[in-house]
Structure 1
Amino acid sequence: MDFSKKIINWYKNNHRKLPWRENKNPYYILVSEFMLQQTKVSQTIKYYSDFIKKFPNLEKLAQAEEKEVLKVWEGLGYYKRAINLHYFAKKLREKSIGFFPKKYKDLIQYKGIGPYTGAAIASICFNEVVPAIDGNFYRLFSRYLGIYNNITSILTKKIFRTLILKMMDKKNPGVFNQAIMDLGSTLCTPKKVKCFLCPIKIDCFSFKNGTIYKLPVKNIIKKSIKKRFFYYIFICNNSNKFFIKKRFNKDIWKGLYEFPLIESEKVLTLLEIRNKIWKKYKIFSKNIIYKVKHQITNQILFIQFLNCKMIQSIQIKKSLNNFFCISYKKICNYPFPNPIILFLKNKKII
């Protein structure tokens, strides 16, 4: 029995039961693949179900405001994925209702759809013979074939693509891709492999030669961790409303909402914080009421929230010109970064 048949037979009996696999609806696969970028399957499932309930099809997603989409995505992180997914839906609506690109080469023309996501959708939904190569593929085939080439190099990626195309099942490319994904996620894992349950162990180079944990070879230059210091100003006016604004700049949390902010490259004393807040917003700051450390890709954010006193004046209105007021009742309508959500929960505002 050849490689692809062994893989597919194993998959039929051992595949993970995931909600987006219940049918080949391209919209369901699209949403799941966007969510699975940078996120584990276990965490994705709940968000996926809530997202599909809120936006059951492309038309509903295209009609929604960005704020609504980000609110359902809130907590999943990497919010650019949600923005790109929303953008994709709106672009398709401009063409015609019911239109969905079926070819890999057409799918990868859209923001947020890279080679892996495009290949996954094209193969699973439209039976196109194209390998959906991700970390699971590189790990499994490096070990199976005994490939010691650096998997981060462009040349090695081309070699893998050529080899996998020869080995994959041409009649069931979508099933083949999902089988490799599941085998890599459950048995041929980075650590604690389960080789004795593997359907291809007899012919596996690494299993026969004891090199499982030596492959794949991945030479990555580690990026330095950037430290950022955020000082959020929690301020209520006389109507018991507080100020927020949307983040537009090309930075983390684009599209989410936040309080007035002082950012620094170093730790500030309370006196320094108060002086900066007064200089920028003409607001009197009281005490620090909440602290949280938040880590994202290559960044650590040290965040503090300050309770501030609102003094009505023309100067303050000018300094907060880019902000708008919302009541406590409406706070649930806006998507916030995780650290602000933690703060709001801690203060029992939500």
Structure 2
Amino acid sequence: MHFSKKIINWYEKNYRKLPWRETKNPYYILVSEFMLQQTKVSHTIKYYLNFIKKFPTLEKLAQSEERKVLKEWEGLGYYYRAINLHSFAIKLKNNKITFPNKYKELIKYKGIGSYTGAAIASICFNEVVPAVDGNAYRVFSRYLGIYDNITYTKTKNMFYIIILKMMDIYNPGIFNQAIMDLGSILCTKKQYKCSLCPINDSCFSLKNNTAHELPIKKIKRSVTHRFFYYIIVHDRNNNICLNKRSKKDIWKGLYDFPLIESKKNILINELINKFWKKFRIILYKKTFIYQIKHKLTHQILFIQFLNCKKIKNLEKNIFFKKFFFVSHNKIEEYPFPRPITLFLKHEKMI
């Protein structure tokens, strides 16, 4: 039986029942694909359902403030995805453009890469284009015995051409989803349920016992250590000082507190001196309130939260003009990175 036919027959009996598979609405599929970038399916489902409930249409999303969009995304991580999704909705609304129905049109928008564009184009619009993600690389490298490094562009192009030739031209969306599920259910990273695989009679890795070797993925990774010192500042009305992160860095678009960052750990006396010079702030003797170690993909953050005395004549302090103050009962309306959320919960502010 033809490869694609076997894959599709298996999928129809074994597919994962996921909420975004109950529709071909391109907006819903777009939301799910953005969320699934670098996030597990199990963690995505709750966020997807809440997001769709809050922003049921592309128009509703476009009309919403970025802060509210990020608030719904809070805890899901990789917040640039939410910013790009929101930007996509706004561009379509402002330019009065209907939802793009071609792969080449979709990938023109920031945040929609080759995989996401192919998934939407094939599932929603039946375009014959391979959606090549980690599952696809794993399935095809093992099935065909491909030892080329999948991080190389030439290897990615080779996979694209090979898979395109093997696709079911009548059911490209189902084919792409079948490959995703085969890689997620049977042909996983560390466990291979080869006896249940619909294509085990012609698999290179099963015949040669090489599943543990493939795919080849060699990446040079360097980890950066960053030291964050957040200062908790209140005005005379006990409102707390917040900052919107706007620079091209982690957590862009989210909110935090006045910050001093260092490449190394700072001793308490040096820290007090730095805060005095930069903020004209007097820290309490019992300075540290809370600390946390937070790991990102290529970074490790060592974060400490520090207390200070209430500042007199705050409105005359030029430095604080770039920040703003909110009352404690309004804090939960703002989207924060996870370390800040944990701190606010620890202090019972949310």
TM-score normalised by length of structure 2: 0.98
Deviation of residue 83 (structure 1)? 0.3
Secondary structure of 2:157 counterpart? helix
Q: Distance in 1 between matches of 2:282 and 2:245?
A: 24
Q: Distance in 2 between matches of 1:303 and 1:185?
A: 35
Q: Distance in 2 between matches of 1:349 and 1:267?
A: 27
Alpha-carbon contact 1:188-1:195 (below 8 Å) kept? yes
- Cα separation, partners in 2 of 1:325 and 1:145, compared to 1, 3 Å: same
Deviation of residue 315 (structure 1)? 7.9
Query: How is 1:69-84 mapped onto 2 (pairs within 5 angstroms)?
Result: 69-84=69-84
Secondary structure of 1:320 counterpart? helix
Match of 1:93 in 2: 93
Deviations 1:223-276 (A, max 9, x none): 211000000011212211110011111000000011111111110111111111
Q: Distance in 1 between matches of 2:87 and 2:126?
A: 25
Deviation of residue 314 (structure 1)? 5.7
Q: Distance in 1 between matches of 2:210 and 2:311?
A: 68
Q: Among 244, 249, 253, which residue is 1:251 paired with?
A: 249
Alpha-carbon contact 1:225-1:300 (below 8 Å) kept? yes
Query: How is 1:51-66 mapped onto 2 (pairs within 5 angstroms)?
Result: 51-66=51-66
Match of 2:46 in 1: 46
Match of 2:122 in 1: 123
Are 1:304 and 2:299 counterparts? no
Deviation of residue 311 (structure 1)? 2.3
Q: Distance in 2 between matches of 1:276 and 1:154?
A: 46
Deviations 1:312-336 (A, max 9, x none): 1368621211111100110111101
Deviation of residue 13 (structure 1)? 0.7
Match of 1:340 in 2: 340
Alpha-carbon contact 2:235-2:314 (below 8 Å) kept? no
Match of 1:268 in 2: 266
Q: Distance in 2 between matches of 1:57 and 1:314?
A: 43
Alpha-carbon contact 1:27-1:57 (below 8 Å) kept? yes
Match of 1:135 in 2: 134
Alpha-carbon contact 1:282-1:316 (below 8 Å) kept? no
Q: Distance in 1 between matches of 2:196 and 2:283?
A: 61
Match of 1:226 in 2: 224
The amino acid of 1:347's aligned partner reads E
Q: Distance in 2 between matches of 1:149 and 1:193?
A: 21
Deviation of residue 196 (structure 1)? 1.1
The amino acid of 1:134's aligned partner reads D
Q: Distance in 1 between matches of 2:274 and 2:196?
A: 61
Q: Distance in 1 between matches of 2:12 and 2:225?
A: 47
Q: Distance in 2 between matches of 1:129 and 1:316?
A: 63
Deviations 1:56-77 (A, max 9, x none): 0100000000000000001111
Query: How is 1:140-219 mapped onto 2 (pairs within 5 angstroms)?
Result: 140-219=139-218
Count of residues paired in the alignment: 348
Counting aligned pairs with the same residue, the percent is 66
Match of 1:2 in 2: 2
Cα RMSD (Å) = 1.1
Q: Distance in 1 between matches of 2:305 and 2:316?
A: 19
Deviations 1:284-312 (A, max 9, x none): 11110100000112100000001111221
Q: Distance in 2 between matches of 1:71 and 1:339?
A: 15
Alpha-carbon contact 2:228-2:303 (below 8 Å) kept? yes
Secondary structure of 2:9 counterpart? helix
Deviation of residue 195 (structure 1)? 1.0
Alpha-carbon contact 1:281-1:316 (below 8 Å) kept? no
Q: Distance in 1 between matches of 2:308 and 2:49?
A: 39
Are 1:283 and 2:281 counterparts? yes
Q: Distance in 2 between matches of 1:259 and 1:220?
A: 35
Deviation of residue 38 (structure 1)? 0.7
Q: Distance in 2 between matches of 1:229 and 1:119?
A: 40
The amino acid of 1:197's aligned partner reads L
Structure 1 unmatched runs, 5+: none
Structure 2 unmatched runs, 5+: none
Secondary structure of 1:321 counterpart? helix
The amino acid of 2:170's aligned partner reads K
Match of 2:237 in 1: 239
Q: Distance in 1 between matches of 2:319 and 2:152?
A: 50
State the 4+ residue runs in structure 1 displaced beyond 4 angstroms: none
The amino acid of 1:229's aligned partner reads F
